[in-house]
Amino acid sequence: MIDILICIIYILMGARWILKRVKMEAISAPTNWKIIILKFLIWLIAPLEIFIYIYFYNSERVRIFLGASVMLLYLIETQLLFNEMSKAIVESNIDNREKDVKHILERRKFRVQLGIICFGIIAFIALLVGVMPD
């Protein structure tokens, strides 16, 4: 019963996040279909990781390799989502606050790149663990 409730909450919160407007600090922009598709693909990462963990319970190396591959896929999707969100914010900049927008985007870009580096290191270590002999 609890697992069904968790799944329902995950679906509802994911749907809310997918359809939410693009917002970075004080600047918001309307979403477009590319952003919705990228958010949907990112939303599918957690169920895919759980499926890999459950379905490949006998094969540790396959599970580690697929898990690390999904993490790398998440990193690519995150960078693509950031690029699309940046485009949407720049296009909807009606107030001509270009300096503010550029400053906010630069700070957010640094945070996204830092997250990508950290997840990349974790995925690389996971791949090394999968390749190393027992």
CA 97 vs. chain centroid, Å, equals: 28
CB neighbour class for 3 (10 Å; exposed up to 12, middle 13-18, buried from 19): exposed
Average pLDDT per consecutive 10 residues, the chain (134 residues; last block may be shorter): 84 89 80 90 90 85 85 89 87 73 83 86 81 70
Give strand pairing partners of 27. 24
| Containing structural domain, residue 74 | 2-131
The pLDDT of residue 42 is 92
> Rounded to whole angstroms, how far apart are CA atoms 131 and 65?
9
The pLDDT of residue 120 is 82
**How many C-beta neighbours within 10 Å does residue 77 have?**
19
Angstrom distances, CA of residue 131 to CA of 10, 12, 72, 75, 134:
34, 38, 17, 21, 9
Both structure tokens of 123? 């995925």
10 phi/psi in degrees, rounded to 5? -60, -40
The structural domain count of the chain equals: 1
Is residue 95 a contact partner of residue 73, using CB atoms and an 8 Å limit? no
Decide: pTM greater than 0.85.
Answer: no
